[in-house]
Amino acid sequence: MAATFRSHLAGKDNLITTYEATRAGFVSLALEKSRRATPFVAQARALKQTAGQAKDAAALLDMRDIRSALLTAAGVSDKAANHLEEPDKTKAITGLIDQFLKPAGTNFVEELVFRFLLTRGDSLGGSMRNIGGFLAQQRLTQCILAQLRVSGRPYHWQPGKAAAWQPMPDNDADVGPNVYGLCWSTKGKPRTLLYNVTPPFVKKNVDLCLFSCDREDGSRPSLKDASLYLAVGELKGGIDPAGADEHWKTARSAIIRIHDAFKKSEQQRPATLFIGAAIENAMAGEIWDMLRKGTLSNAANLTVDAQMASLSTWLCEL
């Protein structure tokens, strides 16, 4: 019999994120931000070295090997650059040189580097806003793989939405961080878990879905078949207590929407689960209430190892 939430939760207080876990979460985010910033710093140093060969700011326009960096310094993101024609790019770079680099005089290289890092920093900030979900998905994946490994069950994993499925490696550490899907067997029956899918009868993105089918030679399961869904869930990896309530409101609405959508499909409703890193007292009470009423099948605090291990065991046994 698969474990339920009562295997690791005695009450709502077990769900509340501790101060120590919050502090550790902020430290982890800071380290991750520093890690992701390292390539930008290296790029800035390379830009300074190359741009320093120009006799003045105007000469930069003819340096084709740093044209991309000049565009970045002009405030044009990589995504925006893909939509610009060459004359538009030249106009942006010319504006940078005339309005900011020439007035800087002999310090034009420093001004260029500062503006390059300003745009790169903004890009880094945008990616960090999504880091919570990425880390939550990575954490759940690690817990599931640990459970499969301990129980002696082989698995396959999909490194990307359109990528080929890969067999279980010798070391789970070799599984990449951007896992899109996992596939294993439970009591001789195939199971496929996919992240970030949109069931047609829900019409919204769902953080994770567990299906009672095989990986089907690398293609996605039939999302239209409601009978294949064994579990659906929401992951919220943000650790900041200030945003916890807003994240929970989004997750709660999604869980209720999922619950109602499957109820209308006249198929057996899948299990629902919630995993969160920042869980405050009020939302812990709401989660516990939904668990007791059956709107939620299982829940866990992402920062508590025992809860994540128990939930992963339950998920692997569905």
Per-residue pLDDT tens over the stretch 12-65: 999 999 999 999 989 888 888 888 889 999 999 999 999 999 999 999 999 999
Per-residue pLDDT tens over the stretch 69-84: 999 999 998 888 889 9
The pair of three-digit structure tokens given for residue 182, joined into one six-digit string: 């996992």
| 220 and 232 share one domain | yes
Nearest of 147, 83, 74, 161 to residue 116 by alpha carbon? 74
| 151 and 109 share one domain | no
Alpha helices in the chain (DSSP H): 19-51, 67-73, 78-81, 86-96, 108-128, 131-150, 244-264, 281-293, 305-317
| 256 and 161 share one domain | yes
Domain that holds residue 221: 130-317
- Is 25 among the domain residues? no
How buried is residue 42: exposed, middle or buried, by Cβ count under 10 Å (0-12/13-18/19+)? exposed
Per-residue pLDDT tens over the stretch 209-259: 999 988 875 456 667 888 889 999 999 988 889 888 888 998 899 888 888
- CATH number, position 73: 1.10.238.90
